[in-house]
Every structure is written in structure tokens, then in C-alpha cells.
Amino acid sequence: MTKPSVLEIDNLQVSFRTSGGRVAALNGVSFAVGQNEVLAVLGESGSGKSVTAASVMGLIAQPPGSIDGGQIRFGGVNLLALDADDHRRMCGKRVSLIFQDALSALNPVYPVGWQIAEVFAIHGMADRASAVRHAVELMEAVGIPAAAERAGQYPHQFSGGMCQRIMIAMAIALKPELIIADEPTTALDVTIQAQIVELLKETHAQSGASIMLITHDLGLVAEMADRVVVMYAGRVVEDSDVYRFFAEPLHPYAMGLLASQPRIDRGAGALQPIPGAPPNPLALPSGCAFRPPCPRATLRCAEQTPALRKLASGRAVACHFADEQAL
């Protein structure tokens, strides 16, 4: 992490009120997104990866949610200290968001061109005619054929892949410094996924914006990311550059995740699943949340929650025993 950071998340704690009691979604999450970096936030359902993104964008509804502590620093300002209006002014132009389900993220009753142009209108960047012209240019840039005609069409007239392209057009419209992509390809078929990945890569190369890629897909991480932050039960358990992560994951959960992933470039051979059930956020075990299925767990893991330690190599891991076998 020699590059300066665009976004720094420090000890973020978020919880939600539910019928079953208070659920801690994030238990002290810290990581930074470097300039021009593609950072993948990798985790399974309930790990807190989407809550992290929503916190940055100020999209946590309070109540039932509550931000219990920590800081999110962007452009030298702690976003959590701002009120909603200031937050929007700060982030609206400089941070943008790509959702998983583009069709439901777009407004069904307005033409897509109008929705892209709206971005310029809200941020007072253009008059009506040039906003529409910009919108069409953006649609062309993200590979929508016959963009001028299609700008007048509604979201339901586009396929899932095309809707995702429109989302990307909106996301890059104001030339943001940071794009948060929350599972941008999960809802798409694999050949369409490949198109969107190519588009995201081009977008990254051309705009130089940092991308925070939230995903559960190890393949997508290996394809796009410079660095990966692995989340488990609302904590960061590993923070590593992508090459070393796949070559030698440090945290036992990360190892388990890689071993349980079937691979298209390999034939049969038993998968090695992580035993047991994923953690119940209402009843996390004491100490390390990964302790129950962990092959290395000892008494110490129950008594003491491992902190995210920086190793000599620049990687970080939250496991008492991680560096013993690695490095």
C-alpha cells in the first residue's frame, strides 16, 4: 500500500435491530482503497460486505440500522460526521455505485437516457440539450448499439446485460474517483458476465477511478482485483495482494474458501468444503468467529479475538497462528 488512499475505513461498527435482538453486522472493519486500485471485498452471505458498501454511500437506514463507531474517511473528511445533505454533496459526484440487480435499480417509468441525463441535471453540470447528448455518448461508450434511439426506451426493453451497461454509464457519468460495484455480474449469464467484466476493466483503465468490487466470486476477484479484503462474520480476516492471496492464502477461512471452490480448469477430485454451518450473526462464538470449523483452533482462539495484524510482507491477517506456516 504505497499508493495514497482514496477511501479509508477505520474500525467501522454497524448493527441492526431485528426481532431476534441486536445483530452486529460489522464488528470493526478497517481497510483502505488505494488510488487507481481495484480492491475486491470478498465474502459469503452475511459477511458484511454489502453493509460496508452501504455505509460508505450513507445508505444504512437508521433505524433499524445504527452506526456504532468508526470512521469512513474520503477526501480528508469523515463521512460519518456529515449530515445526509453534506454526505450526498460529498459523495454524489465523487463516489458512484453499481448495483447487482440493474433492472430493479433503474426507474421503470423513465427512459434510460433521461435517467442518465438526470445525473448531470442534479449535479448542475449541463443544460438539458447537452445532458441528453452526454447521455447518448455514455451509452455508446458502454457499448449500447443504436444508442441515440435506445436512449428513449425504458429499462424493461433492455436485457439484463444492457441494463448493467446503463448502470455503468450512470456510474462513470460524473468521472468519480471511486466506483463501488456491488456484485455487478452476479445476476448475469456467464457470457454476458464476460462482457461486463471487459467493460469494467476498460472503464477502469480509461478513467483511472478506484474500484471497490464487492463479490463472492473468487473467479471475478482473480480476474480483476489488485488487492483483496476477505470478510467473515463482519470482520476483515485477510488483506492481501491478489497474486499472493491465491498462491498462498493466510487465513484458515480463506484457505477453506479456495479449497471448496470447484474449478473449471480441473477435473474431478473431491472438493474440500468448510465443515459445519456458516456463522449465526445472532450467536457468534466468543473470540474468533471462524473458530468452530477451524482446523487450527485452540483455547486461545476462544479467549482472544485475533486482531488484524500487519505482516512483514505488507499483507494483513486476523489469525493468531497465520504467520507460523506462511512466510
Partner 1 sequence: MAIGPIPVGNAGPLLDVRNLVKHFPGRRRGLFGAPSAIRAVDDVGFTLSRGETLGVVGESGSGKTTLARTLLRLHPATSGQAFFDGEDILTADPAALKRLRRRMQVVFQDPYLAFNPRFTIGETIAEAWRIHFDALPRSQWAKRIGELLEQVGLRADYAGRHPHEFSGGQRQRVGIARALALEPDLVICDEPVSALDVSVQAQVVNLLVDIQKMRKLSLIFVAHDLAVVRHISTRVAVMYLGKIVEIGPTDAVFERANHPYTQALLSAVPVPDPRGREQRRRIVLQGDPPNPASPPSGCRFRTRCWKAQDICAREEPALLDRRGTGTLSRCLFPEAGPTTRLPHGQLTRGQE
* Least Å from the CB of residue 272 to partner 1: 7
* Least Å from the CB of residue 220 to partner 1: 5
- The 3-class secondary structure across 30-53, one letter per residue, is EEEEECCCEEEEECCCCCCHHHHH
Given the complex with partner 1, which of 120 and 245 has the nearer CB atom? 245
| Residues belonging to the chain | 327
Asked if 51 and 26 touch (Cβ cutoff 8 Å), the reply is yes
Given the complex with partner 1, which of 79 and 144 has the nearer CB atom? 144
Given the complex with partner 1, which of 91 and 214 has the nearer CB atom? 214
Task: Select from 263, 300, 309, 310 the one that contacts partner 1 (CB under 8 A).
Answer: 263
Phi and psi at 98, nearest 5°, equal: -115, 125
8 φ/ψ sector (left φ>0, alpha ψ -120 to 50, else beta): beta
Q: Which residues have a Cβ under 8 Å from the Cβ of 280 and sit 6 or more positions away?
A: none
State how far the Cα of 220 lies from the Cα of 106, in Å rounded to an integer. Answer: 24
In the chain, count H helices and then E strands. Answer: 13, 12
Under rule CB under 8 A, residue 45 binds partner 1: yes
What the block records as the C-alpha cell of 231 is 470478510
* Least Å from the CB of residue 157 to partner 1: 12
Site string for partner 1, 164-203 (x = CB under 8 A): -------------------------xxxxxxx-xx-----
Binding span for partner 1 by CB under 8 A among 9-17, 31-39, 147-155, 258-266: 258-266
Given the complex with partner 1, which of 177 and 223 has the nearer CB atom? 223
Residue with cell 452501504: 54
Under rule CB under 8 A, residue 205 binds partner 1: no
SS3 293: coil
State how far the Cα of 188 lies from the Cα of 160, in Å rounded to an integer. Answer: 7
Given the complex with partner 1, which of 72 and 162 has the nearer CB atom? 162
Given the complex with partner 1, which of 134 and 165 has the nearer CB atom? 165
Give the β-pairing of 95-98 and 178-182: parallel
Under rule CB under 8 A, residue 297 binds partner 1: no
Count residues binding partner 1 (CB under 8 A).
47
Write the DSSP string, 84-117: HHHHHHHHHHHEEEE-S-HHHHS-TTS-HHHHHH
* Least Å from the CB of residue 66 to partner 1: 26
Site string for partner 1, 61-100 (x = CB under 8 A): ----------------------------------------
3-state helix, strand, coil in the chain (%, to 5): 35, 25, 40
Binding span for partner 1 by CB under 8 A among 76-84, 129-137, 156-164, 309-317: 156-164
* Least Å from the CB of residue 38 to partner 1: 11
- Binding positions for partner 1, rule: CB under 8 A: 44-45, 159, 161-162, 189-195, 197-198, 216-223, 225, 242-243, 246-247, 256-258, 260-268, 270-275, 277-278
